[in-house]
């Protein structure tokens, strides 16, 4: 379905919309309402004061605002020497921020992203560009304070975004971006606005979550990470072009620091692995590869095996290769994999799908978790699953969430698709709000074994509603799949609910593209299907007639360290 976007402002949106709508195949296809074009209204504040209901009825997927006309007044006052004092200028900034906040509050009932667009005046500091010798703010100082105020609003309101186009204009060049014929107190985009339209595309993909986040980047080696083919020149004769390959490699280091897995699949002789790793190591210090596959098999076959081993979706994997045949074969055999040529390296850092919402301790250690899982598989070998789990020395804790765990809980809620009953994508502020609700419990699950610490891998959000305990959200990282963590957690939560003197525990299961396994987990723990409500299937557990399953006996409770408050069912 095409998104419907609402633009409230004047001609500062004109060329952006012109560019976006003229090339939907390059950017994205959408329908829109533009107040200047469709209603003759350039003032978003006035428009909302008079016609907010009209915007509500449109049900847009996002609303874009602009205070460009309001900014021209204080900017022209500076340039024409009409500004009186910093106090007066601070008042103007406060008026702009208050006006924006009122528009945000008006639009909040829509529960959609609200974006304030801002692009700068490039003729700044004309008089005081070397040093501001007046007691007044110059243009740059004024706009900097305005931008800081907008960023504070963005911190306060989760659905509000401040689209500061300064860096986009700077990278493309202000003279190539803004009309040269404008008066100094005007600042309008000239056509074609290609780089601005590209930034809009990235923003819309980000705020509407049109692109699933990338979890793993798989790269080829020959003529991708360096110039030349190992079999032709030998590892000892490989050369790194500082202007290109080192930059590519640094990009991978940054992605790795964001918690994105990095792997290698290359058509090469396997006996070269040690030499190649030693060659790469000085340039990619600190990186551990989640896979390093050298063979002459089809790369699509190798990648599929890696995906099965990692247990992540194919659509969360990126494959980079300089060879057109390899790319096309990958697209044909595994169409869900995102495939790029070697020229993608520079944009990788800026594409929304490569930008996680949070970088937590668990995300930084994600590669280590997967390597530990590979160790577990190797040790398991032919041992029976139950015997193997009993040898792993599992420890587990199901505890109330602590304030410092909010980011990780939010990250799991935003990322988890497979083991997730609700597929709800709560924001950090919503999680904090739940934690302050006396009728809400947020449980977190920590797991470790003799191979390493899994970290915080599960979340359960429950609400007490009279004599019913409703599990609103139950999810787990795919790293703990089939280890019994789900069963242990459900038994613990059921025991806790029983201590709250409720009669029933219910779970509303909402089907997603990959979460069918959660239905099996609920059934395996004796939850019965009660009926359906809209898109959800209601599962229930009758505490008056049923007893929770025994906890798997290969788990030992994590000892409390004195800083966490264990859930009552665990601490008794």
Per-residue pLDDT of the chain (572 residues; tens, 9 = 90+): 799 999 999 888 988 899 999 999 999 999 999 999 998 888 999 999 999 999 999 999 999 999 988 888 898 898 888 999 999 999 999 999 999 999 999 999 999 999 999 977 665 556 667 777 788 988 888 999 999 999 999 989 989 999 998 888 887 777 777 777 766 666 777 778 888 899 999 999 888 876 688 989 999 999 999 888 888 888 888 888 777 777 788 899 899 988 899 999 999 999 999 999 999 888 887 788 989 999 999 999 999 999 988 888 899 999 999 999 999 999 999 999 999 999 888 788 888 888 877 676 666 666 666 666 666 665 555 566 667 787 888 899 999 999 999 999 998 998 888 889 998 889 888 999 999 999 999 999 999 888 788 889 999 999 998 899 999 999 998 878 878 999 999 999 999 999 988 999 999 999 887 788 899 999 999 999 988 887 789 999 999 999 999 999 889 898 655 444 344 443 32
Q: Tokens 């390493």 correspond to what residue?
A: 452
- Which two three-digit tokens encode residue 433? 């709000």
Our CA dihedral for 129, 133, 134, 138, rounded to 10 degrees, sits at 20
pLDDT of residue 567: 45
- Which two three-digit tokens encode residue 213? 């986040």
pLDDT of residue 566: 43
Q: CA–CA separation, 101 vs 122, rounded Å?
A: 26
CATH number of 216-354: 3.40.50.1000
DSSP 206-222: HHTT-SPPP-EEEE--B
Fold category of 4-207 in CATH: Rossmann fold (3.40.50)
- Residue 37's CB: how many other CB atoms inside 10 A? 14
CATH number of 384-571: 3.40.630.30
Q: CA–CA separation, 309 vs 139, rounded Å?
A: 56
> Quick check: 538 and 372 in contact, CB under 8 A?
no
pLDDT of residue 565: 38
Helix (H) / strand (E) element for 542: namely strand 536-542
pLDDT of residue 245: 77
Domain positions in the chain are 4-207, 216-354, 384-571
Q: What are phi and psi of 106, to 5 degrees?
A: -65, -35
Exposed, middle or buried by CB within 10 Å (0-12, 13-18, 19+), for 61? buried
What letter does residue 388 receive in the DSSP assignment?
H
Q: CA–CA separation, 33 vs 530, rounded Å?
A: 43
Domains 4-207 and 384-571 share a fold: no
pLDDT of residue 373: 63
Alpha-helix runs per DSSP H in 228-285: 230-233, 245-257, 273-280
């Amino acid at each position: 379905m095409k998104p419907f976007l609402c633009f409230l402002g004047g001609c500062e949106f004109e060329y952006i919309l012109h560019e976006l709508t003229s090339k939907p195949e390059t950017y994205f296809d959408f329908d829109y309402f533009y107040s200047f074009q469709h209603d003759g209204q350039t003032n978003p504040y006035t428009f909302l004061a008079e016609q907010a209901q009209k915007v509500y009825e449109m049900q847009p997927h996002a609303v874009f605002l602009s205070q460009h006309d309001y900014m021209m007044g204080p900017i022209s006052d500076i340039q024409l020497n009409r500004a009186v004092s910093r106090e007066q200028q601070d008042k103007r900034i406060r008026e702009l921020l208050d006006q924006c906040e009122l528009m945000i509050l008006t639009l909040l009932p829509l529960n959609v992203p609200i974006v304030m667009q801002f692009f700068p005046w490039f003729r700044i500091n004309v008089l005081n560009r070397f040093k501001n010798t007046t007691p007044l703010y110059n243009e740059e100082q004024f706009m900097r304070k305005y931008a800081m105020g907008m960023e504070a609003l963005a911190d306060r309101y989760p659905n509000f975004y401040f689209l500061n186009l300064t860096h986009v204009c700077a990278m493309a060049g202000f003279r190539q971006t803004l009309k040269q014929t404008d008066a100094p107190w005007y600042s309008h985009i000239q056509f074609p606005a290609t780089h601005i339209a590209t930034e809009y595309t990235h923003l819309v993909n980000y705020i509407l979550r049109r692109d699933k986040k990338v979890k793993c980047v798989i790269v080829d080696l020959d003529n991708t990470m360096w110039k030349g083919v190992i079999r032709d020149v030998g590892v000892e004769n490989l050369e790194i072009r500082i202007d290109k390959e080192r930059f590519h490699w640094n990009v991978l280091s940054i992605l790795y620091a964001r918690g994105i897995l990095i792997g290698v699949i290359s058509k090469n002789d396997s006996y070269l692995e040690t030499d190649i790793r030693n060659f790469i190591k000085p340039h990619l210090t600190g990186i551990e590869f989640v896979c390093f596959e050298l063979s002459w098999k089809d790369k699509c076959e190798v990648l599929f095996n890696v995906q099965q081993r990692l247990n992540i979706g194919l659509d969360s994997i990126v494959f980079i290769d300089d060879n057109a045949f390899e790319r096309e074969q990958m697209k044909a055999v595994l169409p869900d994999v995102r495939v790029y040529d070697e020229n993608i390296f520079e944009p990788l850092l800026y594409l929304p799908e490569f930008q996680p919402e949070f970088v937590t301790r668990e995300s930084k250690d994600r590669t280590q978790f997967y390597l530990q899982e590979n160790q577990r598989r190797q040790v398991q070998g032919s041992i029976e699953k139950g015997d193997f789990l009993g040898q792993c020395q599992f420890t587990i804790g199901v505890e109330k969430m602590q304030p410092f765990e909010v980011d990780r809980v939010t990250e799991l809620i935003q990322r988890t698709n497979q083991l997730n009953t609700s597929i709800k994508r709560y924001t950090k502020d919503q999680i904090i709000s739940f934690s302050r609700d006396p009728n809400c419990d947020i449980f977190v699950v920590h797991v470790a074994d003799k191979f390493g610490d899994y970290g915080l891998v599960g979340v359960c959000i429950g609400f007490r509603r009279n004599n019913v305990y409703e599990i609103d959200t139950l999810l787990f990282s795919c790293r703990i799949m089939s280890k019994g963590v789900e069963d242990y957690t459900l038994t613990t939560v059921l025991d806790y609910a029983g201590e709250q003197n409720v009669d029933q525990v219910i779970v509303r299961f909402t089907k997603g593209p990959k979460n069918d396994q959660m239905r099996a987990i609920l059934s395996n723990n004796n939850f019965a299907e009660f009926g359906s409500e809209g898109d959800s299937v209601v599962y229930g557990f009758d505490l008056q007639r049923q007893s929770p399953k025994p906890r798997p006996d290969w788990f030992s409770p994590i000892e409390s360290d004195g800083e966490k408050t264990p859930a009552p069912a665990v601490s008794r």
